[in-house]
Copies of this chain bind each other. A is one copy, B any other.
Amino acid sequence: MKDRSPLTDKKFASRVDWNLMRTFVDIVRAGGIGAAARQLNKQQPSISAALKRLEEHVGATLLHRTANGVEMTAAGKAMMALCEDMLESARMMPHQIAQATKRVEGIVRIQIVSALISNEFDEAIASFHRRNPDIHVEIRVSPWRRVLDALEQGEVEIGVGYDSAVRASLVYEPMLSERQQLYCARSHPLFGYQVTRLNELRDEGFVLTGEDEIEAITHLRRRYRLGDKVSGMAEDINEARRLIVHGVGIGFLPVLSAREEVKKGRLWPMLHADTEPTYEIFLLARSEPSRDTATQLFLDEVVRRIRAQRGP
């Protein structure tokens, strides 16, 4: 009965050294034992031995040692998922405890694209401020490229917007998918008509959103030579909408942000709904280690809500 290693051990959780699980995550993330050792300022044999101990307790090979690093076995992947959960809990501790202990002070700066419509986000801000009245919340509006820059520069903690690529320095939480539509004013000759051939619009005067234009739209415009004739320009969607409503030109707007005007009969969607360009709006933050407690709590709040919304 000395052999208390295998998987049938009922008291596994109370016998293993939980630190081995943290080390395991480090090894996998680093991609190898030596690599992990360097990151942790330890000696390589130390990590090697730790992994061995863990595998002994578990009773299965977790990682295959290859000539250039390690790769997870099936068991390793299962292990990794659980270990990452543990890490996530551990990471939360300072923040959660700060919140429970004292009133957290600090500042959360948010940079956001204009005219975003999201109930979850609004509610998250409200509830966050209710729970943490001493945290100062600041919102700035800018074109989406500026949102990304500001985040990476550390000018703000949180971003909301679009991105064409995925940067390692940021984390992306999908918030909602937005659609855009091409609108014209009531005074426009095509008001009330659906346009099927985009070429027909080549000579129309366009209201553009400049730097704030989503790339999908830019491509679409290039393709059909739309907007060669620019009759108006505003980087803020709300202002662009004003220009379009007042007949300065036709132009693309997010459907939700135009809904009210459409209902009032002041804007007309010119394209068939199936052809509306779609893109994802993300909640953005710098990746882990550089977040302070205020930011982390805000992030928790929003992520929790948008996940709850997306789930079902």
> C-beta contact mask, A243-287 vs B, less than 8 Å → 1, else 0?
000000000000000000000000000000000000000000000
Contact B290 A10 (CB under 8 A): yes
Closest B residue by C-beta to A92 = B82
User: Is A79 among interface residues, defined by CB-CB distance under 8 A?
Assistant: yes
Residue from the set A13, A22, A100, A291 with the largest chain B CB neighbour count within 10 Å? A13
Give chain A interface residues in 43-82, CB to chain B under 8 Å.
58-60, 74-75, 77-79, 81-82
Q: Is the interface of A mostly helix, strand, loop or mixed?
A: helix
Closest B residue by C-beta to A312 = B312
Please judge, given known A-B contacts A18-B19, A74-B100, whether A12 and B90 are in contact too, CB under 8 Å.
Answer: yes
Contact B90 A86 (CB under 8 A): yes
Contact A75 B100 (CB under 8 A): yes
Contact A289 B10 (CB under 8 A): yes
Interface size of A by CB at 8 A reads 48
Q: A7-B101, A12-B94, A60-B101 are in contact. List 20 more A-B contacts (CB 8 A).
A: A7-B97, A7-B293, A10-B289, A10-B290, A12-B90, A13-B22, A13-B90, A13-B91, A16-B90, A60-B97, A75-B97, A75-B100, A75-B101, A78-B100, A82-B90, A82-B92, A83-B89, A85-B89, A86-B86, A86-B89
